[in-house]
């Protein structure tokens, strides 16, 4: 019987396990060394500040006493924080929606025009401007003075096109005037008039350099037997002792365009408008009436809207944000539009669909992933908005324009309440996490496809 050669032979020594490698062939220890600086920076700049803010949010102002959830309770009882939370909701609802909608409109409308690239460049250009610079620009745009603020210059121009303002907002009767207040800013003669009378309606209060350009030297009205004539003018002559009171002088100017009403028994029986020299004429219908200068003659000039007032400051700042970020939305949507299969659009047109139906039923559904990316990105962005609100809103309206990021700054630095500021930071992080989680899930689904 043959012997087994393996019997009694010494066993081979076990081989040492090979160093495991990553998918790319790099040793894990080497990969860890390369990742170490990034992990250190991530821990120092992200993980540690978040952890410290969470811990600090449970301590009092000094940082020595444990406050429990008192700081978080203050988030829902403090008026400033509640206003900031309400404004953040307004920002999240309107700013991303409007910016995305404008980006979609711009991307679709400029797709087929030759100058579409130039238009996109102009719309995207605000993205190159810092938030600080944009805030300063829009602080000037929303200036109350129409001579400085572009928004009010346009608004006042449109308003004055349909409702012209008076040229005599500060005019009023002077000493020993035949006029007396009639209520509501109007003035009326103390006595009645008769045919053949010449009436003087002197006023003062308009600076010589603010008189209308069409004003001419005032002229004394000539009497007419069957009419009532008169003059309304600026009864003021520069120089001490120059000119006579309640009498037309050569250097005094008439009130062109001044409206005169003849009022009898509480009803207006006739009206007249003064000429360039201030003279006017009424028919015999005004017999026995009193002459009234209505309040419309003295209406203050329209000064536009208070864009940065309590009621409009948040929409105004949202408008500046949309101006900056609509270009960002447009570029991303235009990129998605460029990769859309054109055969689907052409097939829909061949089947008889009009452009609106193609846009609503084909374009928008195919762009839904891109629109979701843009909207979610802008939502995360507006939850943290600070610069524009801090710069644009004046001190008198900053409480009304307050947002969580600004309130965090005010509590942490102005009010010296680091505990409440840390609680706001943690609360803001909790608001951002669901949106980020949704975005990450959506991106993973796209990768799996």
pLDDT in the model for residue 75? 84
Contact assessment for residue 236 and residue 205, using Cβ atoms and an 8 Å cutoff: no
**Cα–Cα distances in Å, from 46 out to 52, 128, 359, 377, 431?**
10, 26, 43, 20, 17
pLDDT class of 104 with cuts at 50, 70, 90? very high
pLDDT in the model for residue 351? 85
Q: Is the pLDDT of residue 16 over 70?
A: no
pLDDT class of 186 with cuts at 50, 70, 90? very high
Higher pLDDT, 240 or 262: 262
Residue carrying the six token digits 């001419």: 216
pLDDT in the model for residue 11? 55
Give per-residue pLDDT as tens, 337-363: 888 888 888 888 888 888 888 888 888
Range scoring the smallest mean pLDDT among 3-12, 116-125, 141-150, 379-388: 3-12
Q: Tell me how far apart the alpha carbons of residues 300 and 167 are, in angstroms, rounded to a whole number.
A: 8
pLDDT class of 55 with cuts at 50, 70, 90? very high
pLDDT in the model for residue 291? 95
Q: Is the pLDDT of residue 268 over 90?
A: yes
pLDDT in the model for residue 1? 46
pLDDT class of 8 with cuts at 50, 70, 90? low
Q: Is the pLDDT of residue 448 over 80?
A: no
Pairing outcome for strands 267-273 and 179-183: unpaired
Q: Is the pLDDT of residue 5 over 60?
A: no
pLDDT class of 245 with cuts at 50, 70, 90? confident
What single DSSP character describes residue 362?
I
pLDDT class of 449 with cuts at 50, 70, 90? low
For residue 232, report the phi and psi dihedrals to the nearest 5 degrees: -120, 125
Question: Is residue 210 classed as helix, strand or coil in its secondary structure?
Answer: helix
Q: Is the pLDDT of residue 105 over 70?
A: yes
pLDDT in the model for residue 114? 82
Q: Is the pLDDT of residue 230 over 80?
A: yes
pLDDT in the model for residue 238? 66
Share of the chain above pLDDT 90, in %: 45
Q: Tell me how far apart the alpha carbons of residues 227 and 287 are, in angstroms, rounded to a whole number.
A: 9
pLDDT in the model for residue 76? 83
Range scoring the smallest mean pLDDT among 141-150, 225-234, 296-305: 296-305
Instruction: Please count the residues of the chain.
Output: 449
Beta bridge mates, 260: 272
pTM of the complete model: 0.74
Q: What does the pLDDT average to over 65-79?
A: 86
DSSP notation for 229-291: EEEEEE---SSTT-S-TTS--TT-BB-TT-EEEEEETTEEEEEEE--TTSEEEE-GGGTTPEE
Contact assessment for residue 362 and residue 439, using Cβ atoms and an 8 Å cutoff: no
For residue 419, report the phi and psi dihedrals to the nearest 5 degrees: -65, -45
Residues whose CB is less than 8 angstroms from the CB of residue 351 and which lie 6 or more positions away in sequence, other chains included: none
Beta bridge mates, 66: 59
Give per-residue pLDDT as tens, 146-185: 888 999 999 988 887 877 667 788 888 988 889 999 988 8
Contact assessment for residue 316 and residue 391, using Cβ atoms and an 8 Å cutoff: no
Q: What does the pLDDT average to over 112-119?
A: 84
């Amino acid at each position: 019987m043959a012997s087994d050669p393996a019997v009694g032979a010494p066993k081979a020594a076990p081989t040492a396990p090979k160093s495991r490698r990553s998918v790319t062939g790099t040793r894990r220890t080497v990969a860890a060394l390369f990742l170490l600086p990034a992990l250190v920076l991530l821990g120092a700049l992200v993980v540690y500040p978040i952890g410290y803010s969470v811990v600090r949010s449970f301590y009092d102002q000094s940082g020595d006493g444990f406050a429990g959830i008192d700081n978080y309770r203050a988030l829902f009882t403090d008026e400033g924080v509640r206003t900031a939370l309400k404004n953040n909701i307004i920002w999240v609802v309107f700013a991303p929606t409007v910016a995305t909608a404008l980006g979609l409109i711009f991307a679709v409308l400029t797709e087929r025009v030759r100058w579409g690239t130039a238009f996109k460049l102009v719309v995207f250009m605000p993205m190159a401007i810092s938030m600080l610079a944009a805030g300063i620009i829009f602080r000037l745009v929303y200036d109350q003075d129409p001579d400085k603020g572009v928004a009010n210059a346009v608004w006042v121009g449109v308003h004055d096109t349909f409702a012209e303002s008076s040229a005599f907002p500060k005019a009023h009767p002077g000493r020993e005037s035949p006029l007396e207040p009639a209520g509501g800013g109007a003035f009326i003669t103390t006595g009645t008039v008769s045919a053949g009378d010449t009436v003087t309606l002197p006023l003062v209060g308009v600076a010589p350099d603010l008189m209308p350009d069409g004003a001419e030297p005032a002229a004394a009205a000539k009497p007419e037997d069957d009419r009532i004539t008169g003059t309304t003018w600026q009864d003021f002559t520069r120089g001490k002792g120059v000119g006579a009171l309640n009498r037309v002088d050569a250097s005094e100017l008439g009130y062109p365009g001044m409206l005169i009403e003849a009022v009898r028994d509480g009803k207006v029986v006739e009206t007249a408008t003064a000429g360039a020299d201030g003279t006017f004429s009424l028919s015999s219908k005004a017999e026995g009436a009193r002459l009234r200068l209505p309040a419309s003659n003295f209406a203050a000039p329209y000064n536009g809207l208070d864009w940065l007032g309590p009621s409009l400051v948040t929409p105004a700042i949202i408008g500046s944000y949309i101006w900056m970020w609509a270009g960002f939305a447009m570029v991303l949507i235009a990129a998605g539009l460029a990769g859309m299969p054109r055969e689907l659009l052409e097939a829909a047109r061949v089947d008889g669909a009009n452009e609106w139906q193609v846009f609503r039923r084909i374009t928008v559904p195919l762009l839904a992933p891109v629109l979701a990316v843009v909207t979610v990105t802008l939502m995360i962005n507006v939850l943290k908005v600070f610069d524009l609100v801090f710069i644009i809103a004046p001190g008198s309206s900053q409480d009304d324009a307050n947002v969580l990021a600004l309130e965090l700054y005010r509590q942490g630095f102005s009010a010296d309440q680091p505990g409440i500021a840390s609680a706001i930071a943690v609360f803001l992080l909790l608001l951002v996490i669901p949106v980020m989680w949704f975005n990450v899930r959506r991106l993973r689904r796209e990768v799996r496809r």
